Chain A
C-alpha cells in the first residue's frame, strides 16, 4: 500500500530524514519507535503533505502512485489520515461541524453528494459511542480546552469517521491513562481490515500490547536502523535505545 523509497527531507539547510525505506502492505500494522528528535513526526508530516518540509530525494508511493505532488487534502482524499501528536486548537469550529465538513468535502472531491444528515448523525452517534465520547463534547470548539487525552481520543474519533486506508498515529498513546488507551486501541482495532493499514508511532511498548504490530522499525537520526517483529519492541522497552546506538554507530 505505502512505499517510501530512500526518502530525504528537511527544512531549509537542515536534513531531518536521511534515507528512509518503508514498505507497508494492506492489512498490516507497522510500528515506528525511536528516541525524541529522531524524525518520527517529520516522517508522518511528510507523508501527510506538510509543505513546510522539503523532500530533497526519494519518493512516496501510495498503491503504486507517487503522492509527492499532491496537496494534503488530495492525500486525505486518497485515504491517508494523520492523527497529530499535537492536535491544533481551532476556536469557533465545533467538533461536529468540523467532521461534517471534512466528510462532505472528501465526498465532494470524489464526485459524491453530501452525506444525508440522518446518516451523518447515526455515524456520529456510533463512532462517539465506540470511543466513549460524551455528546456534549462534540459541540465544543475543536480541541480548545481539551485535555491531552481528550485531544487524542478526538483524533481517533475523526479517524473512525473518515475510515482511512492508511492511518498514521503519531504518539496517540502519550498522555492517555490506561482506560483511555484501551478505548483508543479498541477504536483502531475496529478499523483494521484486509484493505487498510496502520502506522503507529510510539515511544512505549504499552500501546503495542493492545494494537499488535506485524513489523517494528527503529528510527534514529533520520534513518531506520533496525526492523524486526513485535519482540523488538519488548527488547527496546527493556534495554532502551543506547545498545542500538552503539550497534549501529550513531
Chain B
C-alpha cells in the first residue's frame, strides 16, 4: 500500500478516535479531501522541481507512533540549551512529554495544542486563529487532517515572554520507521514579544519523516524572534512548513540553521497585512555527503511601507545539494516596499550543487527591491593570506567558512544559542579554534 493510501485509510481510524465535538473536527475532514485530491508533490510541480520526495515516501511508516517510548534524559540532554533558563515544550514520537517539559499559564500560555484544542476556554482563540494562515495545499492539508498535537504559545496583548521557549520534537523509532506531523500555533498579540528555539531530533537509525506545520500570528507591533535548528540524523527527513501572518509595525525574524538530515525542505511563507512591517529571513546551510536542503521562501508584500530582508548562506561539500527558491511578491498597493534578498553559496567539491532561483513579482512602481545570488569556491587568495599568517590550511578554510556564515550568525540575539550554533558549525567543519567574535 502506498503511503498516500495508508494515510487516507488511517484517517478514518484517526477521526473516530477523537471527539467529534472538537472545534476542528470538520476541518480535518475537509483537509484530508484536499490531500486526497492533490497527493504528494512531485518534481512536475514547479515548486518541487529540484526536490524529490520519492525516496522517502517508499518507506512503510508507522503513522501513530507509540505513546510511551522510554527516554533517558542523559541521552538527550545535549539537544537542549541547558545553560539558559527557558520554557520547554517537548514531544516524544508526537506525544507531549510533561516530564521533560516546563510549561506555563502564568500571564502567557506555553503548552500543547492538544490541550488548546480540547479545553473549552481556548475554543474562542482556536476559532479565530487555527488554520487561518496555512495555505490549502497538499502537505499542509495532510498535516491539518492529522492535527492533534504540537506547541501552543499564546502571548496576550502587551506581554513579554519572560524567557525563551524551546520546542523539541524527538523521534525514537521505538516502533520502527515513523511519520510525525506536529502542528503548532504561535500567537503574539499586539505589543507582545517572544523568542522561540525549535528543533526536530531523531534518536534512531530508523527512518523518520516529519511533516510539520507551524502557524505564526504577529499582532500590531509584536516582536517574534524564531530560531530553527536542523541538525538531524542522516535517516531523518523534514518538511517544515511555517506560515507567518504579520500585522502593522510587527517584526518577525526567523533563522534556520540547516546542518544535517536526509532531505530537508523548508517552506517559509510570510504574509504582510499592515504597514511598516519588517520580515527577516535568514539561514545558514552547511551539509555534506548526499544531504539535501531546500529553502522555499515567500514574502508577500500586500501593504505599503514594509520591508523584508533575506540572507541565506550555503556551504555544500561532497555531493550535497541545495536549493534556494525565494519568491517576493509586491502587490500594486504595496508602494515604498523595501525588499532585499541575497543567497550566497560556496561549493567545496565539484559534485556539490546548488539551484538558486530568485523570483520577483513586482506590481507596484515605487519600490526598492534587490536580489543577488552568488555561487563560488573558497577564495584562494584569502586562504593564502590566512596561511601566510600561520593559520594552517584546514583551520584557514574553516575560518573562511565560518566568516562566510557569520553575517547570519551575528544576528542571533540569544548569546547562549549563538555559542551553541558556533560550536555545531565548528564541529561540522572539523576544527576546534576560538571563533569567538
CB–CB A92/B379 < 8 A:
no
Query: What is the total number of residues of chain A having a CB less than 8 Å from a CB of chain B?
Result: 38
Is A73 an interface residue when CB atoms closer than 8 A count as contact?
Answer: yes
CB–CB A73/B391 < 8 A:
yes
CB–CB B400/A97 < 8 A:
no
Picked from B385, B391, B402, B406, the residue with its CB within 8 Å of the CB of A84 is B385
Is A228 an interface residue when CB atoms closer than 8 A count as contact?
Answer: no
Q: How many A-B residue pairs have CB under 8 A?
A: 97
In the complex with contacts A90-B382, A97-B435, A49-B388 CB distance below 8 A: yes
Is B103 an interface residue when CB atoms closer than 8 A count as contact?
Answer: no
Grouping DSSP codes into helix (H, G, I), strand (E, B) and loop, the B interface class, with mixed when no group exceeds half, is helix
Is A162 an interface residue when CB atoms closer than 8 A count as contact?
Answer: yes
CB–CB B390/A93 < 8 A:
no
User: 1/0 per position for A28-55, CB-CB distance to B under 8 A?
Assistant: 0000000000000000010011111000
Is B436 an interface residue when CB atoms closer than 8 A count as contact?
Answer: yes
CB–CB A162/B389 < 8 A:
yes
Residues of chain A contacted by B381 (CB below 8 angstroms): 88
Residues of chain B contacted by A73 (CB below 8 angstroms): 387-388, 390-393, 396
In the complex with contacts A72-B384, A92-B402, A92-B404, A102-B389 CB distance below 8 A: yes
Contact residues of A between 67 and 124, Cβ < 8 Å to B: 71-73, 75-77, 80-82, 84, 87-94, 97-98, 100-106, 109, 114
Nearest chain-A residue to B409 (Cβ)? Answer: A92
User: 1/0 per position for B30-61, CB-CB distance to A under 8 A?
Assistant: 00000000000000000000000000000000
Q: Tell me, in angstroms, the Cα distance from A106 to B388 when the chains sit together.
A: 11
Q: Tell me, in angstroms, the Cα distance from A56 to B252 when the chains sit together.
A: 59
CB–CB A109/B392 < 8 A:
yes
Picked from B382, B384, B406, B433, the residue with its CB within 8 Å of the CB of A105 is B433
User: 1/0 per position for B397-437, CB-CB distance to A under 8 A?
Assistant: 00110111111001000000000000000000000011111
Q: Tell me, in angstroms, the Cα distance from A94 to B436 when the chains sit together.
A: 10
Is A202 an interface residue when CB atoms closer than 8 A count as contact?
Answer: no
CB–CB B389/A158 < 8 A:
yes
Is B109 an interface residue when CB atoms closer than 8 A count as contact?
Answer: no
Nearest chain-A residue to B384 (Cβ)? Answer: A50
Nearest chain-B residue to A48 (Cβ)? Answer: B388
Q: Tell me, in angstroms, the Cα distance from A221 to B379 when the chains sit together.
A: 29
Nearest chain-A residue to B402 (Cβ)? Answer: A92
CB–CB B385/A94 < 8 A:
no
Residues of chain B contacted by A162 (CB below 8 angstroms): 389-390
Residues of chain B contacted by A141 (CB below 8 angstroms): 403
Q: Tell me, in angstroms, the Cα distance from A77 to B393 when the chains sit together.
A: 13
For the complex formed, measure the closest distance between the CB of A191 and the CB atoms of chain B, giving whole angstroms. Answer: 16
Q: Tell me, in angstroms, the Cα distance from A103 to B391 when the chains sit together.
A: 8
- A interface, CB within 8 angstroms of B: 45, 48-52, 71-73, 75-77, 80-82, 84, 87-94, 97-98, 100-106, 109, 114, 141, 158, 162
- B interface, CB within 8 angstroms of A: 379-382, 384-393, 395-396, 399-400, 402-407, 410, 433-437
Given contacts A45-B384, A73-B396, A93-B403, 6 further A-B contacts (CB under 8 A): A75-B388, A76-B390, A81-B388, A90-B385, A90-B386, A105-B392
Q: Pick 7 A–B contacts, CB within 8 A, sort by A.
A: A52-B380, A72-B384, A76-B387, A84-B385, A88-B385, A89-B382, A92-B437
Those 8 A-B pairs whose CB atoms lie nearest each other, nearest first: A92-B403, A92-B406, A76-B390, A72-B387, A106-B390, A102-B389, A88-B385, A93-B403
